[in-house]
Amino acid sequence: MKMILRILVLVLMTGFLYACSKFLEEENIAGITAENYYKDAAGYESLVRSCYASLRSIYDINPSLFEYGTDIMTRGEIEPVSGTVGDLVIRATGLNEYKTLTADNSAVEKLFSAAYSGIQRCNTAVNRASTVPGLSDELRNKRLAEVRFIRAYYYYLLVENFGNVPIVQEEINTPVTHFSPNSEEEVYSFMISDLQQAIGAADATTGEFGRVTRDAAKHLLALVHLTRGYKTFGADTDFITSAKLAEEVLAAGTYTLLPSFAAVFDPENQQNKEILFSIQYDRTSLKPSLGTGNGQNVLFGWRVWREPGFFEETTVYNRRLSDFMPTQFLYTLYDTKKDARYDGTFLSRFAATKDDVIGSQQVKKGDLRFYFPYPDQVFTSADSIALKSANPVVEIVRFNRWKQDFDGIGGAMKFPMINKFFDPYATAFGNSENNHRSTRDIFIFRLAETYLIAAEAYFKLGQLDNAAQKLNVVRARAAKAGQTLAISPSQVTLDFILDERAREQAGEYKRWLDLKRTRRLDRAFSHNLLTKIANPAGIVDKYYLRPIPQSVIDRDSGEYPQNQGY
């Protein structure tokens, strides 16, 4: 922690701030100190922008702590970086299979340090607000609401991943060598206080898409109360409060569900009415010295470019990797005859992007090369013959092969890839896991999740009618024309809600937190083959928390405690 905070001080003192794009302009103010830069309203605005920008440090690289070790996502083939897979496989294996997860896992350390770095920026904005001349009270309160929201979100990520963590509210300008963790209960109280203040002062609407709004703060507070409601220290009213806040967001009408699931992920319409809060990126403002985008578009695919008929880099498929691959279980959750989200999420047909040969067989650009039949629909031998007759170079990959081809599992390492994050403008990203080039926004909160939060809160309250009603709104949008996905109250269970979250939010950096909140990580030990193989005895309770990074313990001058079992 000591070294981490020394780094934080250096960052703040040198003023290395890069801004969220789109509603904010890029700025590189290196060499300007905090003391002389934050002395006026313009400098303070730049500081607030940097609080938004700091969230990129959580989401720029792969979403290891959000997706690995769940029931719907597992690890695939990790591509070598600079000639070796090294730490990438160690990191992925520990998080996906749990058994080898240790305190020196680099992804665990990355999240911990990035979160506290972001918190320090927010603390600086909170603590300097009252001393900035030329800042009206109204604007000051709005900006404080925004940074309190961001700070609360950081603490949500920290407390859910690590349990007891220090609450740091001060702007730190000198090295601090020891911190004592606060209890989870104290952290939750702190988050709730921050978010209540944010709700009281944030704008109801904003002309600058991306700024925190009142409804975004209500959504996060609804999630916080929902999560606390499961805990031993939860309040009796947590689920009531969660449902109430979610209902207020839905009733306000500021945000609306788009007519179709696919429209939500249209790369040309990222600033749409369903998005409550997103991490913003932009093609024109990301400069090499200020960050290179995110990997959400890249990491949920497979290496189609290694197959005959495909260029390595194209605007048709980009250059995909299989670091994260769906479990077979995820595909089984969809009724593909009725649910448009399957085709809105996965890409099942791949056409050649160049002329090529397979042995003596000619491949022409545009020829169908790979086809993945719907897993829940009959695909007969006659269907196969007909498809191959019309498409002589097609390879049909059936469901039983949509899994890893290592560890004796026997799959093809080819599968319908998650394609809803496709970025037609992504460029070559080079041989570095940190050098991704997708500049699509990452959606953190959208209105469909607000409905799902309300449904879960109502379920926990025993109000199955209300829970079903909320689920049915989301499912009605998902239904294909002429079909219905409506359910009855008697069908609502916690597992059904988790299944619905999987169908709606696959790959959206939510799953581990959903399973952790609901105490259903056991689903991963049933449906994630690698997790199951590594843990024949099933789940161990310690897996509901990550280890405190060893670097934090080593650099703390006191006795910073490790989480039990690590």
What confidence tens digit (pLDDT) does each residue in 533-548 have?
A: 999 999 999 999 999 9
Q: Is the pLDDT of residue 27 over 60?
A: no
Predicted local distance difference test score (pLDDT) of residue 30: 39
Residues 246 and 213: their CA atoms lie apart, in Å, by 14
Predicted local distance difference test score (pLDDT) of residue 380: 98
Predicted local distance difference test score (pLDDT) of residue 63: 87
Q: Is the pLDDT of residue 250 over 50?
A: yes
Q: Is the pLDDT of residue 386 over 70?
A: yes
Predicted local distance difference test score (pLDDT) of residue 147: 98
Q: Is the pLDDT of residue 314 over 60?
A: yes
**Average pLDDT for 83-95:** 85
Predicted local distance difference test score (pLDDT) of residue 85: 72
Contact 69, 531 (CB under 8 A): yes
Q: Is the pLDDT of residue 33 over 80?
A: no
- Tokens (6 digits) for 323: 């670091």
DSSP-assigned letters across all residues of 484-549: -----GGG--HHHHHHHHHHHHTTSS-HHHHHHHTT-THHHHHH-HHHHHH-TT---GGGGSPPPP
What confidence tens digit (pLDDT) does each residue in 320-350 have?
A: 889 999 999 999 999 999 999 999 999 999 9
Q: Which are the contacts of 451, defined by CB distance < 8 A and separation ≥ 6?
A: 246, 250, 257, 470, 471, 473, 474
Who has greater pLDDT, 287 or 531? 531
Predicted local distance difference test score (pLDDT) of residue 4: 38
**Average pLDDT for 9-18:** 33
Q: Read off the pLDDT band of 411 (50, 70, 90).
A: very high
Predicted local distance difference test score (pLDDT) of residue 60: 80
Q: Is the pLDDT of residue 308 over 70?
A: yes
Q: Burial code of 106-143, b = ≥16 C-beta within 10 A, e = fewer? A: ebbbbbbbbbbbbbbbbbbbbebbeebeebeeeebbbb
Predicted local distance difference test score (pLDDT) of residue 175: 84
Q: Is the pLDDT of residue 56 over 60?
A: yes
Counting residues of the chain whose pLDDT is more than 70, the rounded percentage is 89
Predicted local distance difference test score (pLDDT) of residue 487: 98
